Amino acid sequence: MTIPILYEDDDILAVSKPEALAAIPERHGPGGSLFEVLCAQRGERLYIVHRIDKETSGLIVFARSAEAHRRLNRKFETREVEKTYLALAHGVITEDAISVDAPLRQFGSGRVAVDPVRGKPSATEFRVLERFGSHTLVEARPRTGRRHQIRVHLYHLGHPIAGDPLYGGEATRRGFARMMLHAWRLELTLPSGRLLAIEAPIPESFEAALDTLRRASG
């Protein structure tokens, strides 16, 4: 398995994760993850800074030293990192932009849901990029970093992500071989002090699904 390297220096390694590969080792599963593959292939110790869902493709950053790990963790914790995702939502979103401020709570089953009483503050901004006959391509910018945040906020709006195996019914998944969520861009200040903007190319599997919708809508 070849993992595309998007950027590297003495402090960080940024790569593009394919869908269906866990970002970090799973507690229950057959084993194998992006983290393990990279450590083995490169013969070095990497440090986990953040993660994206197994079903999500796209950009993820690892630290290459304990000091870089400490600094990067701090930036993610204090929301100094700008993250942008692409998501294909089921149904047509009529608004051009939506801000969702809905507290989220994780349950023992692994699912996450909106809970105004016991949930943790969670905010996501959505902007419509393209509308199809029965779907909408949106840009999502999470302002907090809760588990499944983008997925649950779109589900809460009544527009679950196409192909999502956990949120949404059979109609949401029909016709999609993958979950249509991609970690697209990331902007952060490196431990060296330099501002870095990275973009993960949109995978062929994602583009193919969009092309199919464009042909059907045209």
Helices (H) and strands (E) in the chain, counts: 5, 12
| Alpha-helical runs (H) found in 3-130 | 34-42, 66-77
The answer to whether residue 10 is catalytic is no
Q: Is 115 exposed, middle or buried (0-12, 13-18, 19+ CB in 10 A)?
A: middle
Q: Which of 98, 109, 87, 118 is nearest to 184 (CA)?
A: 87
Q: Is 50 in contact with 89 (CB distance < 8 Å)?
A: no
Give the Cα separation of 92 and 135 in Å (integer): 5
The one catalytic residue in 9, 11, 53, 164 is: 53
Catalytic residue IDs: 53
